Structure 1
Amino acid sequence: MSERSTESTPEFSHLLAQTKEKQRLEQHQNASNQWKKWGPYLSERQWGTVREDYSANGNAWDYLPHDHARSRAYRWGEDGIAGFSDFRQRICLSLALWNGQDPILKERLFGLANEQGNHGEDVKELYYYLDASPSHSYLKMLYKYPQAAYPYAELVEKNRHLSKQEKEFELLDTNVFDDNAYFDVFVEYAQAAPEDVLMRIKVHNRGSKAAKIHVLPQLTLRNTWAWTKNMEKPSCIQDTENSIRITHPDLGEYYFYTENCDHLLFTDNETNTQKLFNKPNDASYVKDAFHEFIVNKRKDSVNPSNSGTKAAALHERTVPAQDHIEIYARISKKAHAEPFAGFVDIIAERKQDTDTFYDALQENMASEQRLVQRQALSGLIWSKQFYCFDVHRWLKGDETQPIPEQHREHIRNGEWKHLYNADIISMPDKWEYPWYAVWDLAFHCIPFALIDPDFAKRQMLLFTREWYMHPNGQIPAYEWNFSDVNPPVHAWGAWRVYQIDRKQKGKGDRVFLESTFHKLMLNFTWWVNRKDNDGLNIFQGGFLGLDNIGVFDRSKPLPTGGYINQADGTSWMAMYSLNLMRIALELAIENPVYEDIASKFFEHFLHIAGAMTNIGDSDISLWDEEDKFFYDELRLPSGELIPLRVRSMVGLIPLFAVEVLDAEHINRFPGFKKRLDWLLEHRPELNKLVPRWSEPGKKDRRMFALTSERKIRSILQRVLNEEEFLSDYGIRGMSKAHEASPYVFKCSGVEVNVAYEPAESQSGLFGGNSNWRGPIWFPLNYLLIESLQKFHHYFGDEFTVECPVGSGQQLNLNQVAEFLSERLSQIFLKGEDGARAVYGHRPIMDQDPYFKDHILFYEYFDGDTGRGVGASHQTGWTALVAKLLHPKAKIQ
């Protein structure tokens, strides 16, 4: 266990091997070679985002819809298919396609806006992240492109008329993939050296007839000049028949090469105001010129002088049936006389380097597990994005543009004027969530730490920087509402990243840990001062990560008045206190000052534990002795307390507040131990509130937890019951018991029903695109597994529970953790019938040779069947499966 040693452990020793890929990561870290200066940093959807919204009403989806995206220059970023760019997204390389049938040139991924889908926004494309090295020396993705006209109108129309009770109408539900009449478009990137990027496009015709396709590797220079007076513009100028010279005021010169293209096309990355607003264009050539040239046959739409700020190499090809073509492109800081000499060999070498890196990581793993883990980790790498957003300037407006409505700062984020983001950030999903969610990020960083711990550490530090964190100590949530309240898991994430990094390197990065700790103390203070209404150590506010799992939308005023004392919010804070205590003790190894700080956070934990048992002078606690479960409580304006008896994940979160220390570890800190002993002697009642912290467990360990042995058993009696929380694929967000017996709340003329919903949300509440009332989702499952391992570390093998309930099988808590890990992993692994649960037993996904080994990592999963639900590329927190699959590596 990590608490006992700072040395590298055997299960991670293979990560220390000096593979070429690991050497590249070290070169980037010490700045000798900047391999990650270029990477997969483009968004998949810049349109419909808050940062591009300059409307008077804050409706981002309407202000810049998909139909405008090809014609309007973006303010804060770029998007594109299989995008690759420099780390400030100034020079962007991506893919455009046309099958000769579509009404538009395919330059970006299509999907439904929030109000168009019966379950909210949803990408309506088929694409997969197949491979990636953490240094970006090699990446591969697949885009499936129909040969028939893309069914844009059908997708919009069918979904518009579906009810909330029906499944979404997807691209595979149309007939465009019948008879395999589609192209598999594979895009590979390989870096010959830093700032020397090779792009190979393989187009496979899976159909029985030859088919035509237009393939355009395209360059887009992000528009940074239209918003400020006298800004110098970059340019793309044709150099030779198959090459372009790029001149950028910040980056200098680059060269773009292609091979045997039919045309080099040029235009400017400027808005087509004539088309969109019936206003004369400021530029002679505009952003949608390539669409006009190819689809509408307007030869005058492109710049005949062969220069501009957007360029493409057009390849018109016919792909024989069951055959493929290859197209090469290269973008390099230096000129190449023979840009494609050795091209294929370099790609093969980088692919081999990537294989060697993952072979070391995946030693002793079965091939099926390797496949799932590698694609999960690849999805994480592909989901990095350059995120640029200066809130002050966004609210104020740009000097060359019309002044925005003054009341906009009252619509959204007016209190975050200090926020200035211009960084590479791990996104939850670059289409559905092309903006960071800070609590999601903590979970991303756990699997990231397996392959690139330095990136994981920088991500954790980033959100504590002064240009992110509010002066009052709050960490921004996400762009739709930076002030919303996310669960405080940043300290947990930082500690876990520190532990994984230490196991790999044999030494902990205390500079990282200490830097993070100091900022998190400010955030902790914000929580204590802002989210504890009565100063009773019971916490409220925001959805706290569980969206619509409860009776009310907790981000809005309650219809009954009053507020909710949250079992989950309070437990998150207890967990936060223990996380900070644990970090302080680690820092105290080298600096005894931190012993006092550790004692302070232990004291915070004790007060929260006491409050969970008895809120002020009330006889009602968040623990319901009759049901033997934790519930939220509604405090009405009259002072009356009403327990909200919804049996949900809210009642499991108290299990997460647990920390176990070896006696010898405590004895290393005499100041901390003295404080513990003093509390035991002078405050004996606290011993009842925090069971076991004063009693030795296995090997004389001490446990700090909100839950006693009796409560753990009671909660697990429900958690491991297949009629309640336990699914074949993990732990549901809500007890299945509420399917037959929904919870009904009646008070002050308000009546609300809460029922178990295993998959998509069946109401428009909470945005209508999320649902935690039943589905399985990885973050809380992962934290539950980790907590069970910690409890086992204290209780040992003698503590057993029946798992599943009714089976007669007794398992210790570590075995229960392994049992749950296996069930979660079965969502993605092939069953005996060759099917993956994630696809809901859809034959094409399970049996077709061109589909069956490509994995999608959804946002959450049907609580009964394991079918993927929500965002289809949520390789943010769902990539935690990569850690669960990791051989011999316990979560703790």
Structure 2
Amino acid sequence: MKDTAERKRIHARADNKGWKKWGPYLAERQWGTVREDYSYWGDSWGFISHELSRSYSYRWGEDGLGGISDNKGHICLAFAFWNHEDPIIKERLYGVTGPEGNHGEDVKELYYYLDSTPTHSYMKMLYKYPQAAFPYAKLAEENRKRNRLQPEYEIADTGIFSDNRYFDIFIEYAKADENDILIKITAHNRYTKEAPLTLLPTLWFRNTWSWGYEQFNYKPILNGIANRQIEVNHRLLGKYKLFLEGADELLFCENETNSERIFGKPNANPYAKDGINNYIITGKKQYVNPNQIGSKAAGHYKKVVPAGESVCIRLRFSNQTHQSNAFGDFDEIFKLRQQEADEFYDDLQQNVTDPELRTIQRQAFAGMLWNKQFFYYNVNEWLKGDPKMPFEFKGRAYPRNLTWKHMYTANILSMPDKWEYPWFAAWDLAFHTVTLSRLDPYFAKRQLAVILREYYMHPNGQLPAYEWNFSDVNPPVHAWATWKVYEIDRELNGIGDVAFLERIFHKLLLNFTWWVNRKDAEGNNIFAGGFLGLDNIGVFDRSAELPTGGHLEQADGTGWMAMYTLNMLRIACEISLVRPVYQDMASKFFEHFLHITAAMKSLGDQKISLWDEEDQFYYDVLHTPDGKSKLLKVRSMVGLIPLFAVEILDEELLSKLPDFKRRVEWVLNNRPDLASLISRWHEPGKGESHLLALLRGHRMKMLLKRMFDETEFLSDYGIRALSKYHHEHPYEFFVNGEVLRVKYTPAESDSSIFGGNSNWRGPIWFPLNFLIIDSLLKFYNYYGDDYEIEYPTNSGNVMTVREAAVSVAERLISIFRRDQKGNIPVYTSNKLFQDDPHFKDLYLFYEYFNGDTGNGLGAAHQTGWTGLVADLIEHTSVHKIKFGDVPASVETGLE
């Protein structure tokens, strides 16, 4: 990598300070989250609604439109707009809640993250704001009326953008220095007539002083100076100024709850949180402080934007005085930071020559970087309630996360997105780090480390899943991600950060032990785990008590654990190259993998193997209280996950680890029952390597045959989560006089099992497709060109495993590419997004995709793990995929 200006800034500090101190760390939705819910019955969606959010002061975070904050969320800056038609100003994004949506929660706005550098030295996003009244009621009413079999009703479906009567509002940031930020807002009128637009750059403090804690009694102050400056005084962060070029006036109120509106109680301060909104809408100055002082303030810009033209306002937020002219070097700095961003991505994208792919990849990277968020949650305080509250807190009937009182988070975290998922999810985060490591390996490594810290990880070793229920179980992909990030970091920097591996390894040992002790019900190395991130893929909710009683042994749970074991083995081997004592740990995980492999093969004479010889596929096994066992024959991603348990150890590596090699050979020589389970250990593969895998030759061929069958798993756009076989042949399970059915559904869920907005019964998901590709490439690295398969199944085409992996990657990428007819599959259902000149080059990275058409589904806005498309583009552009193929000869050392 070139030592560009941005790369130097990344290397300057590994933490979230310095050039990363300020960034896009505001949520897009703080209302309707678990953290802000203090209702007795746990009504997270209803306690603070979108309607109440403008008047209620949040306890645990802040939200805003296109905003930034410091790395602890004390000082926040974002934007509000008013089109002179809406009943409220547009301060935050709107969407339907879980109960309102026919497929769960869903943001109903159009916004796009277009660019960002890792240090946020330059950032750009676009918000599309209608000029007609925003259709709040229509969106809620129509979605509420629709059932699960109908599509979601989106804002584009209202027709509000169809005649171009809207503003394209671009929000851009360029840092002059670590604490000196230039801001530019450019609003384009896409309509044929002029239109009024009010712009309100807003600055405020997160409310830390209203909750009755003595150490936080301090209240910071904002002061207005001559209608052109807002002075910031904060005890922890010091003094700043927001310079506002050409503002018509400055408006001040307090970031404190409007108790009169919400609780019917007198306000302690007459200028409550919604004061600026009330003044703009009514024109009455009684709502804002005439003394120009408060904890929330905005510059007021009243504009009329000519037809087809634009207006621009400039701001500067700085801890420097700029006495002479705060905007004298504004354009020069902006131009320089844009050039540096281009230089950074030109270097990063040097293998990607296709202009369309470069645009897709850069916007995917931008989405990953914009979706950082300050996540604050002290579970113990939240459970008890605060000493001082704006209402009588009556406790909680069913306290969430009651066993997680140790958890106290106050960190910048990578979110799946900041509206639908403004909270971290453990396994999502692991996938994020793979993409983030190409941008900023230091940030990626910190993300993997933070969730393992003692104030996140449970004392028993469990990782927190997500804030709705930290005790749910996500797939154990953390070790896999750790190794991938290590490889990518080593590739970029030429040296392996073994200290990072060692730090993570110790914490993962605790988590691995938790899995072994808690999720192996009978101690036979066959694992459960509950829904394991796959929501409604099964016959019933695997996280709930089974309707039959008894317990499940899961093909995916056991496959994940076999993968986890091999990941830990590989990490232990790498650490052993510089710390030989870790060879003992490598031996431990080698033997553990053998025992899981033995268990997967057979559970004994009285039990059923997870591998079904009749179908040549892996299934879950249900054990009922009467001692009977039954295969649940659902052909789903559950049965493909054993493919992920694969690792290659080459002779060069083994020769450097004599103690580990000696132990391996002893086991293989003295335990022939276990040695027979290892796929061709004694037959060196490509490059004198040895293969460890759950799948042996025949089982692998049979699994690939089904996976690459276009009438089953293989779609034009990747691997489906459920076989299309179940479209005509639904799986049925009879219990207590009821028929439980699993049927292939390519798009939104028609089942309410484990939530209604997710669907693993047919669509395409990037994370597991990525793991499939990664695993196939490891198999290729062992077998080489000699091992050929038919791809697609029954097509007559014969190719190597590597070529099949590349094809799957290209199918996934094609979701975002224009096809031969000029259509983009991700926008199959929306002609506006396909053809309109102001939409067609903008990409939304959805949560998952229609298994038949590639149409985007679920969370629409830069959903984190779909950012993996950036990695796929990198590798397929040069047909040099490296997911599992970083040369062992790369130097290893300590940071």
TM tier, smaller: over 0.9
User: How far does the alpha carbon of each residue in 1:734-785 deviate from its partner, in whole angstroms, 9 at most, with x for none?
Assistant: 0001001100111443421000010100122211111010000001000000
Distance 1:30 1:642 in 2: 51
Residue among 874, 879, 882 paired with 1:890: 882
Asked whether the 8 Å contact 1:396–1:404 carries over to 2, the reply is no
Asked whether the 8 Å contact 2:377–2:410 carries over to 1, the reply is yes
Say whether residues 1:24 and 2:9 are aligned partners.
Answer: yes
Asked whether the 8 Å contact 2:204–2:297 carries over to 1, the reply is yes
Q: Which residue of 2 aligns with 1:715?
A: 703
Q: CA deviation at 1:614?
A: 1.3
Say whether residues 1:657 and 2:642 are aligned partners.
Answer: no
Distance 1:615 1:44 in 2: 49
Q: Which residue of 1 aligns with 2:528?
A: 540
Q: CA deviation at 1:844?
A: 1.2
Which shows bigger deviation, 622-631 or 832-841?
A: 832-841
Q: Which residue of 2 aligns with 1:131?
A: 115
Distance 2:72 2:167 in 1: 32
Residue among 332, 341, 355 paired with 1:354: 341
Q: Which residue of 2 aligns with 1:152?
A: 136
Q: Which residue of 2 aligns with 1:634?
A: 622
Asked whether the 8 Å contact 1:687–1:694 carries over to 2, the reply is no
Equivalences for residues 285-684 of structure 1 within 5 A = 285-337=271-323, 338-365=325-352, 366-401=354-389, 404-408=393-397, 410-684=398-672
Asked whether the 8 Å contact 2:380–2:405 carries over to 1, the reply is yes
Asked whether the 8 Å contact 1:575–1:656 carries over to 2, the reply is yes
Q: CA deviation at 1:406?
A: 4.1
- Report the 3-state secondary structure (helix = DSSP H, G, I; strand = E; otherwise coil) of the residue aligned with 1:173: helix
Equivalences for residues 131-280 of structure 1 within 5 A = 131-230=115-214, 231-280=217-266
Q: Which residue of 2 aligns with 1:760?
A: 748
Q: CA deviation at 1:688?
A: 2.9
Q: CA deviation at 1:673?
A: 1.2
User: How far does the alpha carbon of each residue in 1:504-548 deviate from its partner, in whole angstroms, 9 at most, with x for none?
Assistant: 111111111100000000000001001111111111132111111
- Report the 3-state secondary structure (helix = DSSP H, G, I; strand = E; otherwise coil) of the residue aligned with 1:154: helix
Distance 1:41 1:336 in 2: 26
AA in 2 matched with 1:294: I
Distance 1:756 1:462 in 2: 38
User: How far does the alpha carbon of each residue in 1:542-589 deviate from its partner, in whole angstroms, 9 at most, with x for none?
Assistant: 211111111110111011111110000011000000000000000010
Distance 1:799 1:461 in 2: 38
Distance 2:189 2:418 in 1: 27
- Report the 3-state secondary structure (helix = DSSP H, G, I; strand = E; otherwise coil) of the residue aligned with 1:698: coil
- Report the 3-state secondary structure (helix = DSSP H, G, I; strand = E; otherwise coil) of the residue aligned with 1:877: helix
CA distance 1:828–1:614, shift in 2 (3 Å): same
Equivalences for residues 82-97 of structure 1 within 5 A = 82-97=66-81
| Structure 1 unaligned regions, length at least 5 | 1-14
Distance 2:198 2:735 in 1: 62
Distance 2:198 2:13 in 1: 37
Asked whether the 8 Å contact 2:789–2:800 carries over to 1, the reply is yes
Q: CA deviation at 1:209?
A: 0.3
User: How far does the alpha carbon of each residue in 1:132-155 deviate from its partner, in whole angstroms, 9 at most, with x for none?
Assistant: 001100000000000000000000
- Report the 3-state secondary structure (helix = DSSP H, G, I; strand = E; otherwise coil) of the residue aligned with 2:250: strand
Q: CA deviation at 1:29?
A: 3.0
Distance 1:712 1:220 in 2: 58
Asked whether the 8 Å contact 2:611–2:618 carries over to 1, the reply is yes
User: How far does the alpha carbon of each residue in 1:88-126 deviate from its partner, in whole angstroms, 9 at most, with x for none?
Assistant: 111111010000000111000000000101000000000
Q: CA deviation at 1:618?
A: 3.0
- Report the 3-state secondary structure (helix = DSSP H, G, I; strand = E; otherwise coil) of the residue aligned with 2:35: helix
Asked whether the 8 Å contact 1:559–1:750 carries over to 2, the reply is no
Equivalences for residues 41-60 of structure 1 within 5 A = 41-60=25-44
Residue among 74, 92, 95 paired with 1:111: 95
Asked whether the 8 Å contact 2:38–2:47 carries over to 1, the reply is yes
Asked whether the 8 Å contact 1:272–1:281 carries over to 2, the reply is yes
Asked whether the 8 Å contact 2:536–2:751 carries over to 1, the reply is no
Superposed CA RMSD in Å reads 1.2
Asked whether the 8 Å contact 1:656–1:783 carries over to 2, the reply is yes
AA in 1 matched with 2:252: F
- Report the 3-state secondary structure (helix = DSSP H, G, I; strand = E; otherwise coil) of the residue aligned with 2:509: helix
Q: Which residue of 1 aligns with 2:891?
A: none
AA in 2 matched with 1:289: G
Q: Which residue of 2 aligns with 1:6?
A: none
Identity between Structure 1 and Structure 2 (%) = 54
Distance 1:801 1:29 in 2: 45
- Report the 3-state secondary structure (helix = DSSP H, G, I; strand = E; otherwise coil) of the residue aligned with 1:830: coil
Q: Which residue of 2 aligns with 1:823?
A: 811
AA in 1 matched with 2:115: D
Q: CA deviation at 1:228?
A: 2.6
Q: Give TM-score, length-normalised by structure 2.
A: 0.97
Distance 2:149 2:756 in 1: 12
AA in 2 matched with 1:494: T
Q: Which residue of 2 aligns with 1:776?
A: 764
Q: Give TM-score, length-normalised by structure 1.
A: 0.97
Distance 1:208 1:433 in 2: 37
Distance 1:760 1:623 in 2: 30
| Structure 2 unaligned regions, length at least 5 | 885-895
Asked whether the 8 Å contact 2:42–2:396 carries over to 1, the reply is no
Residue among 259, 263, 268 paired with 1:282: 268
AA in 2 matched with 1:343: F
Residue among 780, 788, 806 paired with 1:800: 788
Distance 1:589 1:105 in 2: 60
- Report the 3-state secondary structure (helix = DSSP H, G, I; strand = E; otherwise coil) of the residue aligned with 2:589: helix
CA distance 1:30–1:39, shift in 2 (3 Å): closer
Distance 2:842 2:663 in 1: 55
Q: Which residue of 2 aligns with 1:5?
A: none
Q: CA deviation at 1:619?
A: 4.3
Which shows bigger deviation, 241-250 or 422-431?
A: 241-250
Distance 1:619 1:75 in 2: 53
Distance 1:295 1:392 in 2: 40
Asked whether the 8 Å contact 1:560–1:750 carries over to 2, the reply is no
Moved beyond 6 Å, runs of 4+ = none
- Report the 3-state secondary structure (helix = DSSP H, G, I; strand = E; otherwise coil) of the residue aligned with 1:187: strand
Q: CA deviation at 1:818?
A: 0.4
Q: Which residue of 1 aligns with 2:887?
A: none
Distance 1:392 1:253 in 2: 33
AA in 2 matched with 1:22: R
Distance 1:570 1:683 in 2: 22
Asked whether the 8 Å contact 2:61–2:206 carries over to 1, the reply is yes
User: How far does the alpha carbon of each residue in 1:420-439 deviate from its partner, in whole angstroms, 9 at most, with x for none?
Assistant: 00000000010000000011
